[in-house]
Amino acid sequence: MKKKELDLELEKIDYRILKLLDERMELALKWKKLNGENNGDYEEQHFIDQLNKRNYGLASAQFCNQVFKSVFSESHRLQSKKFKLIGFQGDHGAYSEVAAKVWGSGLIPIPNKDFTEVFENVAAGIFDYGIVPVENSLGGVISQVNQLIINTELYVAGAVELNVHHCLLALPGSDHRELRTVYSHTQALEQCHHFLARNKLEPLPYYDTAGSAKMLSEKAPKAAAAIASKLAAEIYHLDIIKENIEDFERNITRFLIFSKEKHDITGNKCSIIFSTAHKAGTLFKVLEVFARAKLNLTRIESIPNQQGSFAFFLDFIGSDKDEKVIQTLEEVKVHTRGFRLLGCYEEKKQL
């Protein structure tokens, strides 16, 4: 093995250690939220003693003790801060994380394996907020998320409209002329179809955009690239070969931010959910109420629920502290079933 190859392997291992430390610190913050206290010194010393019994490597017990005591000390330091955690689906660098940073720069984004886990962790109090995509201007509604919203008791605390810009990412020092394959989520590959075709790049579906960037960084497949966010390039130390490679300039994804408690703020947009009786004209009666009140509707969507009927999501401009809005919603309740005000909030845009 040559020196250059050894240097590269050492760099990969050091990078993995750094990423594992980040994951460890995120778990420490989740532990604090769940238990309300830091990990106990006794438990940590017991853990170190157990590690020493299993240590058959080159690193001395003294060195391992110092390393883990430093890790625990940093965990305690972070746990003592009053960080607000926001959960998102996917790996670090996902567009949901980009949207989370737009909504609140001081929040700590925590990845989750799926949307269900995001909702469950918010409900359990592990996360202060959860951010999920609800619709895309090209792909339509995200059905799985909207199904979860039907059954949640959480409240909408905010919203973000994000213009998604895809980047072609490659390993540092890669020659773009040698690239042959591109990994990414199916939707991202479709949204960059013309770019890939023009450059004779073979699309290879992957479970997640940020996940494809992470895989590229860790496994370094030959002549391969990934399509993901600019944030993913920063996190996984990848070169941006080209920005804004999407076929359509306007590719808007709307995200909702959920919390366990209702936020007492004066927002400018409200979201409600309801169903109607199986009678002709019932939905029209609801819409008529908003028309008479001259409240501007910005979204109405029907989603099938578990009972075989439909739930309606409706967004409108206004505040639930406005007397006209209060009276309108009271009238809407008369014509609906299972009415619920999800929240009144401010919507941020990064277009």
Q: For residue 76, what are the contacts with CB-CB under 8 A and spacing of at least 6?
A: 38, 39
What's the average model confidence in pLDDT over 129-144?
93
Q: What CA–CA distance (Å, rounded) separates 184 from 119?
A: 25
Give the catalytic positions in this structure. 253, 255
Q: Is pLDDT larger for residue 116 or for residue 42?
A: 116
- Enter the DSSP assignment of 249: S
pLDDT at residue 38 tops 80: no
List domains and CATH numbers for the chain.
3-80 (1.20.59.10), 85-163+252-350 (3.30.70.260), 167-243 (3.40.190.10)
- What was the pLDDT predicted at 7? 85
Reported confidence tier of residue 43, pLDDT bands at 50, 70, 90: confident
- Enter the DSSP assignment of 178: G
Share of the chain above pLDDT 70, in %: 97
Which of these, 213, 214, 206, 169, lies nearest to 189 by C-alpha position?
Answer: 206
pTM, full prediction:
0.92
pLDDT at residue 76 tops 70: yes
- What was the pLDDT predicted at 263? 84
What's the average model confidence in pLDDT over 12-17?
89
User: Crossing angle, helix 209-219 and helix 3-35, to 10 degrees?
Assistant: 140
